[in-house]
Amino acid sequence: MINLHLFHGRSFVEIVKKDFEFLDTENLFIILEDHGIQSVNETIQKINDLQKEKGIRNLIIHNLDGSKAKIVNRIDINYNVHWCTWGYDIYNTHFGFRIRQFLSDKTLQVIGIKKMNPNIMYKVRNPLARKILLRAYRVLRRENHFYTEIESALFKMNTVSCVLPEEFEIVAKKIKSVKFRPYSYGTIESIIPEKLVGFDSRKLGTKILIGNSSSVSNNHADVFEKLGSKYQMIAPVSYGDTNYKEALMEKYPGKNIEYLLDFMEYDAYLKKLTEANTFIMNVYRQQGMANLNVALYLGMRVYLSPKNIAFTFYKELGIHIFSFPDDFSKYENSPLSDEQIQDNRAGLEKYYGREASQKRILAFQ
């Protein structure tokens, strides 16, 4: 029997292959290259054929979107369906969240509330109004809206893993029958190249890294205005919301802000990161954990919003995390002590080390 992994695009595929390669159970991967109906139908057929030929132990859904939901709703299921959440697939209307609650007032001023989410089903707050709209969509289009598909597929999940264990409470409040099966993408060994193992933090520059993408949830505006022109900043915006990126760069074109517009190979990106010794992620929800882990390992001073569930998660691991904006006024971009860096690396190893990771993955054997 096999573990069958379902992805959209190739993000994280190589990481998952490395994570699962030690298992005796065979792992196969299906990658949907687009969201079209032909791709969905072909995938349904592949999954059903593999169940007949090899037998599926676990169908592992990496990030639940509309197309994967359609597939889950139409396959012949007699095996465990596991959902690996990424973050934005739980921080949405399906689980009682509104995108606005993750955005600061300054962020709303930058982009404007009407541009936050292009799909009306995720804007409507009244459940009855949404139900009427979904029915109308079904009648007019003769197919379900992807919101309906996701809502149905959620209740076909048998087990779930979340980026942070505490996020399981969000899922379990809605899906009462789902069981928690922990898994986190990658290990410290897989995200830190051998040449950076034991990296000397004294080689870090003094710039400040802001956010991890051009996602509106980064709330860049608050950071830019807090820091002003006193510091040199690096802002990666090579992927995310194009409208937001353009609005952000127009409002904050400061000469002391270096926007990273183009995709960079991983080694080049890591080299760029070492120009900074401080990382500010002003997000109000879990996001960009791999970026945070790399920054912590390299010895950066990391600031998070206390609203972010990751803030408490790191604290409980004994990691030195600082609150933004309050702690920044006190510490700014001052370097961590050697003892703090060692504490942080030990905390990361405790949860993200290969041994800890493999213990969790054994549940998929």
Vertex 169 angle, CA 164 and 171, to 5°? 90
Pair 273, 297: CB distance under 8 Å: no
Q: How confident is the model over 151-171, as pLDDT tens digits?
A: 999 999 999 999 999 999 999
Domains of the chain: 1-84+150-182 (3.40.50.11400), 188-356 (3.40.50.2000)
Average pLDDT over residues 69-81: 95
With a pLDDT cut of 90, the percent of the chain lying above it is: 84
- Please report, as a single letter, which amino acid is at residue 284: Y
Residue 121 has pLDDT above 90, yes or no: no
Strands 276-281 and 56-62 come out as unpaired
Distance CA 25, CA 20 (A): 9
CA distances from 313 to 91, 185, 212, 327, 340 (A): 17, 16, 19, 18, 17
Low-confidence winner among 33-37, 51-55, 200-204, 243-247 (lowest mean pLDDT): 33-37
For residue 363, the model assigns a pLDDT of: 94
For residue 111, the model assigns a pLDDT of: 82
Distance CA 278, CA 292 (A): 11
Distance CA 281, CA 309 (A): 12
260 phi, psi to nearest 5 deg = -90, 100
Pair 232, 335: CB distance under 8 Å: no
pLDDT tier at 118 (50, 70, 90 boundaries)? low
pTM of the model: 0.90
Q: Which residue has the higher pLDDT, 118 or 309?
A: 309
For residue 114, the model assigns a pLDDT of: 43
Low-confidence winner among 169-178, 226-235, 240-249, 329-338 (lowest mean pLDDT): 240-249
Q: How confident is the model over 19-43, as pLDDT tens digits?
A: 999 999 999 999 997 767 778 999 9
Residue 201 has pLDDT above 90, yes or no: yes
